[in-house]
Amino acid sequence: MKNLEAAGPQTVGFLLLDNFTLISLASALAPLRIANQLSGRQLYRWLTLSEDGGPVNASAGLQVTPDAKMKDASGLNIVIVCGGVDIKSYVAREHMHWLQDQAQQGCKLGAVCNGTWALAKAGLLNGHKCSVHWERLVAMRKEFPESEMTARLFSIDDDHLTSSGGLAPLDMVLHMIRSKHGRDLAVEISAELVHERMRSDHDGQRVPLKHTLGTNQPTLQAAIILMEENLSLPIEISELIFRLGVSRRRLERLFNKYLECSPSRYYLRLRLLRAHQLLKTTLMPLMDIGYLCGFASMPQFARSYRGCFGVALHGERASALALAQELHLNNGRYKSGVALSIARNEESFASMKI
C-alpha cells in the first residue's frame, strides 16, 4: 500500500446546484469519510458550497445548507459539481466563471450526475472524455461536440473526473482513492460500504434499448427482445426472421445501421455480457455459466469470452473470487462514525497500518 504519510490532506469542494441529486453527493462523499476513519488521519477534507452560501434544494426535496460561498473557498484541490434535474436552469454565469478560475489555479474538476453539463458549458471539457447519464447522452453529444461524451460509468484523467450519476460516483471516488493511496484502502472502504465489486472506468451504463433506438424501430427492438429471452437456448437467425416476418437482408441492414454489427454478432455479445455479469456477481461454476449463456462446450465459451473481453475466462474468475474473498473477510469488521473525531472511538480507527 502507498505511504499515506507522504502527502497532506486533499480538500474537496462540492458545488451544489439547485435540484442536485442527493444520492450522487452521498456516493461521492461517503468514501472520503471512511478513508479518514480507516487510516486514522485526515486524508481528505471536504466542504459543500453554493453561489451565495444559501440553502440548496436537492431533487428529493431535502434542503442542504452549504458550508460556504463558493468565492470564499480557498485551497481546494478538487471541485465536484453536483447537478441534477433541469440542470440548465440552475447554472449561472457566476458558476461558470468561478469554475474557470478554479481550473486556472490548477484545481482538478469533477462532476456527478448532470453536473457534467456545467463543466461542458464553461468550456472546461473540450477535448476530454467525460461521462454523463444515459438520459442526457444524445443531447449533450450534439450540444458539446468538442467533448467526448461517453456512456461509461465514470471517466478520470489528470485534470478531470466525471460520473454518470446514481451510485457511479462511489466507484469513481474509490478509483481516485485507489490511485492515490493504494488498492488495500479502497477494498476496505468498499467492504465498509457493503459494495461487492468496485467497478472500473471501462464499465458502461445499462442504457435502455428504447432510449438507444427510439420508438421508430419496432422490428429491431422486437428482434433484440427475442434474443434476450433466449440466451440459454439461442435460436437460429433463420428462426428469428421467421418470427419477425422480415427478410434476412432487412434485419441485417437494421443491425448494421443502428448497432454497427450483424444480428449474430450482437446475439453473441448479449450472451457474453450475461456470462460476464454472472462471473462477477456469483460463484456459479464456469460450466454452468456457459450452459446458461448458450455455449455447447467450455472451449467454445472460453474462446468467445477471450475474444470479446480480451481476458482468459479462468483468469477472470480467479480475480473475481480473490476480490470476493477479500471483501468477505473484511466486511462487517468495522463500525461507522460520522466524522473523524467521532471515528476515534471506532474499532476501525487507524486500522490501516502502513
- 200 and 307 together in one domain: no
- 66 and 198 together in one domain: yes
354 located within any domain: no
- 33 and 142 together in one domain: yes
Q: Which domain holds residue 255?
A: 209-327
Q: How many domains does the chain have?
A: 2
- 40 and 115 together in one domain: yes
For residue 150, the model assigns a pLDDT of: 87
- 54 and 189 together in one domain: yes
Q: Is 254 exposed, middle or buried (0-12, 13-18, 19+ CB in 10 A)?
A: middle
168 located within any domain: yes
What rounded mean pLDDT belongs to the chain? 85
List beta partners, residue 56.
Answer: 64
For residue 325, the model assigns a pLDDT of: 55
The whole-angstrom distance between residue 100's C-alpha and the CA centroid of its chain comes to 25
Q: For the segment 199-221, what is each residue's pLDDT rounded down to a tens digit?
A: 887 777 776 666 666 567 889 88
- 40 and 141 together in one domain: yes
Three-state DSSP class for 109?
strand
- The series of mean pLDDT values per 10 residues for the chain, 354 residues long, is 58 96 95 93 94 94 94 95 92 96 96 95 94 85 90 89 92 94 91 84 71 72 90 93 94 88 93 85 86 93 90 79 52 34 49 45
Instruction: Give the 3-state DSSP-derived string for 268-314, with helices as H, strands as E and coil as C.
Output: HHHHHHHHHHHHHHCCCCHHHHHHHCCCCCHHHHHHHHHHHHCCCHH
- 72 and 15 together in one domain: yes
337 located within any domain: no
Residue 317: CATH number of its domain: 1.10.10.60
For residue 29, the model assigns a pLDDT of: 95
CA atoms within 13 A on the CB side of 187: 15
- 193 and 252 together in one domain: no
350 located within any domain: no
What percentage of the chain reaches a pLDDT higher than 90? 58
Integer Cα distance of 118 and 176 in angstroms: 21
Cβ proximity of 275 and 308 under 8 Å? no
- 246 and 194 together in one domain: no
Rounded to two decimals, the pTM is: 0.65
352 located within any domain: no
Cβ neighbours, 10 Å, residue 259: 17
- 18 and 114 together in one domain: yes
Cβ neighbours, 10 Å, residue 242: 11
For residue 208, the model assigns a pLDDT of: 64
Dihedral angle, C-alpha 344, 199, 314, 225, nearest 10 °: 140
For residue 34, the model assigns a pLDDT of: 94
- 167 and 296 together in one domain: no
Write out the three cell numbers for 129: 472524455
Specify the length of the chain in residues: 354
For residue 228, the model assigns a pLDDT of: 87
